[in-house]
Structure 1
Amino acid sequence: MAETNADTAPVLSLHQRILGDIEQNILTGRWPPGHKVPSEQLLAEQYGCSRMTVNKVLTQLARAGLVQRRRKIGSVVLPQKAQSAILEIYDIREEVKALDRPYSHRIFQRSLRTPDKDERLTLDLLPKQKIVSVTCLHFAGEAPFCLEERLINLAVVPEAESEQFEDLPPGPWLLGHVPWSAAEHRIAALGANEVAARHLHLAPGTPVLVVERQTWRLDQSVTHVRLTYPGQSHALMARFTPSQA
């Protein structure tokens, strides 16, 4: 059964609101490179806050490489470096549908808690910061397709505190709620540990394909997920072109 300590989603702080709005404008291309961000004074008036609050937001955006702050000119949107990834962020539902199999998912564990030492290092969190931990099993028809073990940083995604993920699995839910600006994949062929073996109906030690993914929003970790697939029934494929100078 899912566990939660809150019935309603927490309200975003003013800092988070301003940061999210500006970031969304930049990452969606609504504000193209060279676009001049409204002045601190205009933003302070728009959001009904102090210029210090706006200044902190713009400083965070500048550190993340989204804007450049220029004296007497203000903040200007920077071009985003073109990046290519060998593995894109796929929706597991679409992977199953591509096999012409019916998709479903089941949440086996959901908890709101403080992270352990390793989790704090992974997500770069302070000791008392909260996370949501989710274990989700994805099915292709009646057969287990993928085990998802996910950690979500509530400092970046406070809405996740009350989300049960019963209607929508964690991956697409996150993609719909928070933009990400960077991602890292680690792919390994391993033997199934006890947890994966139990959920995927495998013998312990059976070859599995493990994809670990971490995403960031600006300079903050959004989520870390470990996806475990039965090795004999899954392959990764990517198509890419030579990089150009």
Structure 2
Amino acid sequence: MGKTSDATLHQRILSEIEQKITSGDWPPGHRMPFELDLAEHYGCSRMTVNKVMTQLAKAGLIERRKKSGSFVSQPRSQSAVLEIHDIETEVRALGLEYAYEIGSFSVRRAIEGDLAKLDVSPGDQLAEVSCLHRAAMRPFCLEQRLINLKTVPAAAKPDFSQLSPGAWLLKVIPWSAAEHRIFATGASVDVARCLEIARNEACLVVERRTWSHSGAVTYVRFTYPGDRHALVARFAPVPQ
């Protein structure tokens, strides 16, 4: 087999395995076929397969474990702490298929517990929504959100059929200020069920409040399984 054919076969194997991973056919944690089995399947040398596996590992798509084999990696996302990011963009940046589903939606009056989350008064109208974001069909992030209907009246009857609540808000109303609070916590029973993880498993929580020139817009709590998300901030020294 010539060099051109070797290169073509290498690319074919790489593309087919990448497709299985990014489509979710081989979900995170899936045990990869052994190199000998892949070599036999593709009718090539083990060296060719090894080069593919090395490339996949460098790209962060698989993990190679001594004596155990290779496994599809858990998706690890990175977002800037000071950015208002969209979960769909975050998931697609990982090369994974994105989907979301609305868990609940209701319109109600603000109660005392809401006042610390949003700059509202008791009795103000709020929209409350929760949704689950998925990456390659697996739970990626749980979103729990309050929206101030005084500032965003359209949120009383929103169209979330094409856009998730966060993406919808970014399109409907510009924000002028934001605040993040970031911490770790153990998964509650309800969160564990939604994210398909064990109760009390470590989770990373990002709470955000945003304002527009008209007033408080939204409070949102994003909960990620702790091994699937990282936060990154870029900054520069203050001029002296």
The answer to whether TM tops 0.5 is yes
Q: 1:244 to 1:218 in 2, by over 3 A?
A: farther
Given the alignment of the two structures, is residue 109 of structure 1 paired with residue 109 of structure 2, yes or no?
no
Deviation string 1:192-242 (CA, Å, 9 cap, x unpaired) is 122211100011110000000000113621000000000011111222222
| 1:20-169 alignment runs, 5 A limit | 86-169=81-164
Contact residue 111 and residue 123 of structure 2 kept, 8 A:
no
1:179 to 144, 151, 174: 174
Deviating runs (4+, > 4 A) in structure 1?
none
Which residue of structure 2 aligns with residue 73 of structure 1?
A: none
Alpha-carbon distance between aligned partners in 2 of 1:91 and 1:146, rounded to the nearest angstrom: 12
Alpha-carbon distance between aligned partners in 2 of 1:120 and 1:166, rounded to the nearest angstrom: 29
Contact residue 109 and residue 125 of structure 2 kept, 8 A:
yes
Contact residue 109 and residue 126 of structure 2 kept, 8 A:
yes
Contact residue 181 and residue 215 of structure 1 kept, 8 A:
yes
Contact residue 110 and residue 164 of structure 1 kept, 8 A:
no
Contact residue 142 and residue 195 of structure 2 kept, 8 A:
yes
Alpha-carbon distance between aligned partners in 1 of 2:104 and 2:183, rounded to the nearest angstrom: 24
Given the alignment of the two structures, is residue 233 of structure 1 paired with residue 225 of structure 2, yes or no?
no
Q: 1:218 to 1:166 in 2, by over 3 A?
A: same
Q: Secondary structure at the match of 1:205?
A: coil
Residue type matched to 1:186 in 2?
R
Alpha-carbon distance between aligned partners in 2 of 1:240 and 1:174, rounded to the nearest angstrom: 27
Which residue of structure 1 aligns with residue 200 of structure 2?
A: 205
Bigger strand fraction:
2
Q: 1:115 to 1:207 in 2, by over 3 A?
A: same
Residue type matched to 2:104 in 1?
Q
Contact residue 156 and residue 222 of structure 1 kept, 8 A:
yes
Deviation string 1:161-181 (CA, Å, 9 cap, x unpaired) is 111412100111101111111
| Structure number, greater radius of gyration | 2
Q: Secondary structure at the match of 1:199?
A: helix
Deviation string 1:112-151 (CA, Å, 9 cap, x unpaired) is 1112211033212222211000001000011000000000
Which residue of structure 2 aligns with residue 220 of structure 1?
A: 215
Name the Cα RMSD after superposition: 1.5
Q: Secondary structure at the match of 1:95?
A: helix
Alpha-carbon distance between aligned partners in 1 of 2:91 and 2:207, rounded to the nearest angstrom: 19
- How far off its partner does 1:86 sit? 4.1
